[in-house]
Structure formats: C-alpha cells, structure tokens
C-alpha cells in the first residue's frame, strides 16, 4: 500500500479541514475537541 505524501504526526498538531489516514483510507477532520490534560483528544 502506498501512502504518497503521508507522514506520521502528533494528533495534537492536526487541524480541522486537514486529512488523516485511518486503516488506509483518507479521512477529513471536520470537528476536533481536546479533553483535559492527560486525556486523549476526541475526533468526531
């Protein structure tokens, strides 16, 4: 499987409107919420 221009990044550095790859499929981030420190961010 080729990912082209993809590269690993920290989840905290992604922004709404950008794309990420989940299970080989491109997914657009339409909403993003951060929890309190120490908790995992949640993507909707």
Instruction: Render pLDDT for 12-24 as a digit per residue (tens, 0 to 9).
Output: 788 899 888 888 8
Cα distances (angstroms) measured from residue 13 to each of 8, 30, 39: 11, 15, 16
pLDDT beyond 80 at 9: yes
Mean pLDDT value across the chain: 77
Would the pTM count as exceeding 0.75?
Answer: no
Contacts of 8 (CB under 8 A, 6+ apart): none
Beta strands 25-28 and 32-33 are: unpaired
Cα distances (angstroms) measured from residue 14 to each of 1, 33, 42: 23, 11, 12
Mean predicted confidence (pLDDT) in 5-14: 80
pLDDT beyond 60 at 8: yes
**CB 6, CB 35: distance < 8 Å:** no
């Amino acid at each position: 499987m080729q990912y082209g221009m993809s590269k690993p990044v920290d989840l905290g550095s992604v922004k709404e409107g950008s794309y990420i790859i989940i299970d080989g499929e491109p997914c657009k981030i339409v909403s993003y919420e951060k929890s309190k420190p120490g908790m995992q961010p949640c993507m909707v």
